[in-house]
Amino acid sequence: MSQAFAVKAISPSTTGSTPHVLGFSTPRGSAGDTLLEIWNASTNAGKKWHADKDGNTYQTGILQLNTTVTTGASAGDAVLGYGPAVRSVNNAGNGTLPLISAGTIGATADVVRINHTGASIVAVGTPGGVGGAAVGDLVIANAKALRAPVAAGTSTVALVSLDANDILRLGVTRAAASNAASFSATHYARLRDSAGNELFVPAMNAAW
């Protein structure tokens, strides 16, 4: 299909060493200098994209990678096609590791996957080390917790953590008035099974 155009550059050569080149006889060197700009207007007030002198790129819209679907996305978002991942080069520099993607697990679609190939250890924050962890494990920093929001959404509760004394802590909270009197005004670990049965384990003291 032919389309009307204002500027068109077609090389007569198929030789790989003859690319289209945009260059400067004197290299751009000042802060803010750009190499190429795309405007949707007659002035730079309509600028939509540019590459600066250091090769950094900027755009005002949504970055689309292998997809044309942008429903729900906003300017500045990056949108990947379904399945492909944001990846990082591995330490050896001879391969890449998947960081995050959306895909299907079993029969369930639209699953957000972190490290979906299980090819590495996932660290949250900056743990002091990952010794003993295996590929596919999740490691959080010491004295940090896996947390969940309370029903009202006003705060979060620590579910599990390992403190500076290497003591494993399960979510600790203060008993509500509706609980047994022996638990009022004390701290405890509260465990509940799927049938609603509960086990209250009192803490040694309020600072535990």
Mean pLDDT by 10 residues, the chain (208 residues): 80 80 93 95 95 96 96 96 94 93 94 85 90 92 90 88 85 51 54 74 55
Q: What domain range includes position 178?
A: 145-202
Supply the DSSP string of 134-155, one letter for each residue. Answer: -TT-EEE-TT-EEEEE-TTSS-
Per the structure, how many domains does the chain have?
Answer: 2
pLDDT of res. 176: 47
| 81 and 70 Cβ atoms separated by less than 8 Å | no
Q: Are residues 158 and 110 in the same domain?
A: no
pLDDT of res. 173: 53
pLDDT of res. 203: 60
Residue 121 within a domain: yes
| 146 and 129 Cβ atoms separated by less than 8 Å | no
Q: Are residues 115 and 158 in the same domain?
A: no
| 37 and 44 Cβ atoms separated by less than 8 Å | yes
Residue 90 within a domain: yes
The model's pTM: 0.69
| 59 and 49 Cβ atoms separated by less than 8 Å | yes
Other CB atoms within 10 A of residue 81 CB: 13
